[in-house]
Amino acid sequence: MIVAVMLLLVTAGTVIFHFMSPWWWTPIASNWGYIDDTIIITFWITGVVFVAVMLFMAYCVLRFRHRAGQRSEYEPENKKLEWWLTIITGIGVAGMLIPGLFVWNQFVTVPPGAAEIEVMAQQWQWSFRLPGKDGELGTSNALLINGDNPFGLNPDDPNGRDDVLIEADDLHLRLDVPVKVSLRSLDVLHDFYVPEFRAKMDMVPGMVTYFWLTPIRTGTFDILCFELCGVGHHDMRGNVVVDDAAAYEKWLQEQETFAQTMARAAPPMGQETDIALKADQAVARTSPQD
């Protein structure tokens, strides 16, 4: 008796907790509401199975508890029942998988015309790079990194000269404009995640990874590192600010480009070609993805 009651209480407690929980998603700020929808579908399908199994178990414990002289029924298998259960489970699984795969297809397909930005991670800070007026990010390589060129940009690449570099400051994104976020790491694995955006991807040294999103509401959001990256992992924070078009333009005007940074640093001539050669060899290596 008490066992059956406890099973019922656990089931009821789980369901009530689910609906009453004060801990739930943050209000979404990107186009990835589809992901939330897929989760809701999954919740309903699996929730029904969970409750059904629990109730059935509680019933059995109550009804078929040992009594004097009782014997179990001998029925080693029941093909018809097992087929039905398999088919129904298969349908339930398909009901979760198919919407999921559709959304994943959207997730990995960057829409044409998405603006590209780069997020660069290192222990334990975030830096960002915007493509500048030409709309293209210049090539980069870890071997080129030094105090004057913290992003490792290729100084000979004209695309990189107008790139906007943001270090130790907030990233700004424009409202309603799809953006492809290219991800780079200098040292170990990191992961760029803004809970309100729902999208994340690891950053792997030696390669460039990506995801895309469209911000759908303005505000300031936390950036957290979501892949263990050493003792400072929990301190690796940043902010992303979603602006409307006017505020975004105003902010962009205030940022410094790579050319400006380099002009300030003014590297002695002659070193560049050597470095660029080294970089060319290395760029080739990073191209094949996995």
Partner 1 sequence: MVDAAQDQVNFVPPAEVEEVELYHPKSWITKYVFSQDAKVIAIQYSFTAIAIGLVALVLSWLMRLQLGFPETFSFIEAEDYYQFITMHGMIMVIYLLTALFLGGFGNYLIPLMLGARDMVFPYVNMLSYWVYLLAVLVLVASFFVPGGPTGAGWTLYPPQAILSGTPGSDGGIILMLVSLALFIVGFTMGGLNYVVTVLQARTRGMTLMRMPLTIWGIFMATVLALLAFPALFVGAVMMTLDRILGTSFFMPAIVQFGEQMEYGGGSPILFQHLFWFFGHPEVYIVALPAFGIVSDLISVHARRHIFGYRLMVWAIVIIGALSFIVWAHHMYVSGMNPWFGFFFATTTLIIAVPTAIKVYNWVLTLWRADIHLTLPMLFALAFIVAFVNGGITGLFLGNVVVDVPLSDTMFVVAHFHMVMGVAPILVIFGAIYHWYPKMTGRMLNVPMGHFHFWVTFLGSYAIFLPLHYLGFLGVPRRYYEMGDTSFIPDSAQDLNAFVSVIALVVGLAQLVFLFNIGWSMVKGKKSGPNPWRATTLEWQTPETPPGHGNFGEALPVVYRWAYAYGLPGAKEDFVPQNLPPDQVMAEGGEDLGAPAAQPAE
Partner 2 sequence: MNIFRQLLVKPWLTEQDAALELQDDRTFSLPTPMLGLRVFLIVVMVFFTLMISAFTERRLFSDWHSTPVPWLLWLNTGILVLSSIAMHWAWTNARRERMDGLRLWLSVGGILTLAFLLGQLLAWRELMALGHFASTDPANAFFYMLTAVHGVHLVGGLVAWSRTTAKIRRGSKADDVRLSVELCTVYWHFLLLIWLILFALLLLT
Site for partner 2 in 74-133 (CB under 8 A): 76-77
Q: Which is nearer to partner 1, 107 or 251 (CB)?
A: 107
Q: Which is nearer to partner 1, 175 or 200 (CB)?
A: 200
- If one asks whether residue 246 binds partner 2 (CB under 8 A), the answer comes out as no
Contact partner, 245, from partner 2, partner 1, none, Cβ < 5-8 Å per class: none
Measured between alpha carbons, how far is 259 from 168 in angstroms, rounded to an integer?
19
CB of 73 to partner 2, least distance (A): 13
Measured between alpha carbons, how far is 238 from 218 in angstroms, rounded to an integer?
16
Instruction: Give, for 120, the enclosing helix (H) or strand (E).
Output: strand 115-122
Total residues binding partner 2 (CB under 8 A): 8
Measured between alpha carbons, how far is 71 from 50 in angstroms, rounded to an integer?
29
CB of 218 to partner 1, least distance (A): 14
Q: Which is nearer to partner 1, 85 or 245 (CB)?
A: 85
- If one asks whether residue 282 binds partner 2 (CB under 8 A), the answer comes out as yes
First to last CA, the chain: 57
User: How many other CB atoms are there within 10 angstroms of residue 42's CB atom?
Assistant: 16
Quote the crossing angle between the two packed helices 33-63 and 79-108, to the nearest 10°: 160
Q: Is the dihedral of CA 167, 171, 172, 176 positive or negative?
A: positive
CB of 253 to partner 1, least distance (A): 27
Instruction: Give, for 183, the enclosing helix (H) or strand (E).
Output: strand 179-185
Of 149, 143, 121, nearest to 266 by C-alpha is 149
Q: Which is nearer to partner 2, 24 or 74 (CB)?
A: 74
Residue found under tokens 């975030």: 126
Contact partner, 287, from partner 1, partner 2, none, Cβ < 5-8 Å per class: partner 2
Contact partner, 202, from partner 2, partner 1, none, Cβ < 5-8 Å per class: partner 1
User: For residues 167 and 199, is the Cβ–Cβ distance under 8 A?
Assistant: no
CB of 280 to partner 2, least distance (A): 11
Contact partner, 103, from partner 2, partner 1, none, Cβ < 5-8 Å per class: partner 1
Residues that bind partner 2 (CB under 8 A): 76-77, 281-282, 284-285, 287-288
